[in-house]
């Protein structure tokens, strides 16, 4: 069945409006799931908001400026931020209003939640949990955030083909965003884990191509957009390991590159030197945090 097309890109080229469109879609999805987030209790003229987090980088993310800037824009001032060591500890604690779910927990936590939004169900990925009247509910904001970033870097262009590198949890969010933005676009995936790649391709009606076969494929049709969903480039240490893909062979002038990692990596530098339009994960993170802040706001705006 062909996906119904949903575009987030503002026709006037307003990046802020594109982010608002993504937030609106995410909130509508939460409403359709029947989730009513518990609003933080009002105390002394402010709100007592507790934000939790789980994942390798949770302590850093909970302190991050991107999150706190989004919260401030919605008039939300956290009383506390609390990282948890594992999913059981997180879900057993009832003190928090919203929780960030980061790698490597996004798929594991999704399976533990009875209530999930459509995006979370279709991808098997949860990046945010809100405390609802009926218990914790899992949300995938990343699919809307990734779509906003991809539509922005392409500038309204409909790609003939999109190539997704990696078959982990984030690749599912990217694939759903692609299918919503461009239902008829050729979607191609490549990863070292052939079993995970085959499951991903079947889930989204995509093509699975082994890393060694990408050069020939790109010679046939150069993907207008390449998306790196792997953690290669996330840290200096990651770049000391061989990258499974021959990225310079894939880069083409005039095409686009989206890297989910916030850090400026060798891949982003290579893409820029090759004449590609490049967007890092920072834009996606801004959208994700805008969605999270709106879920905590009494009057989302």
CB atoms within 10 A of CB 151: 25
Answer yes or no: is 252 within a domain: yes
Question: Are residues 290 and 200 both part of a single domain?
Answer: no
Q: Which residue spans within the chain are E strands per DSSP?
A: 41-43, 46-54, 78-84, 98-101, 115-116, 128-132, 135-139, 161-165, 186-190, 207-208, 225-228, 256-259, 277-279
Let me know whether 159 and 131 are in one domain.
no
Tell me: the pLDDT tens digits for 136-170?
999 999 999 999 999 999 999 999 999 999 999 99
Q: What is the mean pLDDT of the chain?
A: 92
Same domain membership, residue 125 and residue 32 = yes
Q: Do both 151 and 188 map to the same domain?
A: yes
CATH of the domain at 70: 3.40.50.10860
| Residue 10, in any domain of the structure | no
pLDDT in tens, 91-115: 999 999 999 999 899 999 999 999 9
For residue 214, is it within any domain?
yes
Range of the domain at 161: 143-281
- Domain match, 68 and 33 both: yes
- The arithmetic mean of pLDDT across residues 7-19, rounded, is 81
* Predicted local distance difference test score (pLDDT) of residue 47: 57
CA 141/CA 17 separation, integer angstroms: 17
Residue 103 counted as domain residue: yes
Comparing 96-100, 219-223, 228-232, the range with the smallest average pLDDT is 219-223
**Around Cβ 158, how many Cβ atoms within 10 Å?**
12
Per residue in 17-65, pLDDT (tens digit) is 999 999 999 999 999 999 887 766 554 444 578 999 999 889 999 999 9
Domain assignment present for 8? no
Q: Note whether 190 and 178 are same-domain residues.
A: yes
Q: How many domains does the chain have?
A: 2
Q: What was the pLDDT predicted at 134?
A: 83
237-263 per-position pLDDT tens digit: 999 999 999 999 999 999 999 999 988
Please answer whether residues 291 and 27 qualify as being in contact, where contact means their C-beta atoms are separated by less than 8 angstroms: yes
Is residue 178 a contact partner of residue 187, using CB atoms and an 8 Å limit? yes
């Amino acid at each position: 069945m062909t996906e119904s097309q949903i575009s987030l890109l503002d026709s006037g080229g307003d990046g802020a409006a594109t982010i608002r469109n993504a937030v609106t879609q995410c909130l509508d999805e939460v409403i359709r799931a029947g989730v009513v987030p518990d609003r933080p209790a009002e105390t002394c003229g402010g709100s007592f908001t507790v934000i939790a987090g789980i994942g390798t980088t949770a302590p850093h993310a909970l302190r991050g400026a991107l999150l706190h800037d989004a919260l401030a824009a919605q008039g939300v001032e956290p009383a506390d931020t609390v990282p948890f060591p594992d999913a059981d500890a997180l879900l057993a604690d009832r003190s928090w209003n919203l929780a960030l779910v980061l790698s490597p927990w996004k798929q594991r936590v999704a399976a533990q939640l009875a209530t999930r939004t459509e995006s979370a169900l279709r991808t098997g990925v949860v990046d945010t949990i809100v405390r609802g009247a009926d218990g914790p509910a899992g949300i995938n904001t990343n699919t809307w955030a990734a779509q906003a970033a991809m539509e922005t870097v392409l500038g309204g262009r409909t790609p003939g083909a999109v190539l997704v590198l990696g078959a982990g949890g984030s690749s599912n969010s990217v694939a759903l965003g692609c299918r919503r933005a461009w239902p008829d676009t050729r979607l191609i995936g490549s990863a070292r884990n052939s079993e995970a790649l085959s499951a991903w391709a079947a889930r989204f009606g995509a093509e699975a191509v082994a890393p060694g076969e990408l050069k020939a494929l790109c010679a046939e049709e150069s993907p207008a957009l390449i998306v790196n969903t792997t953690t290669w480039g996330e840290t200096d240490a990651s770049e000391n390991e061989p990258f499974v893909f021959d990225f310079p062979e894939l880069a083409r002038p005039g095409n686009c590159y989206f890297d989910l990692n916030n850090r400026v990596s060798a891949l982003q530098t290579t893409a820029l030197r090759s004449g590609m339009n490049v967007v890092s994960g920072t834009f996606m993170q801004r959208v994700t945090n805008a969605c999270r802040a709106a879920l905590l706001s009494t009057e989302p705006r």
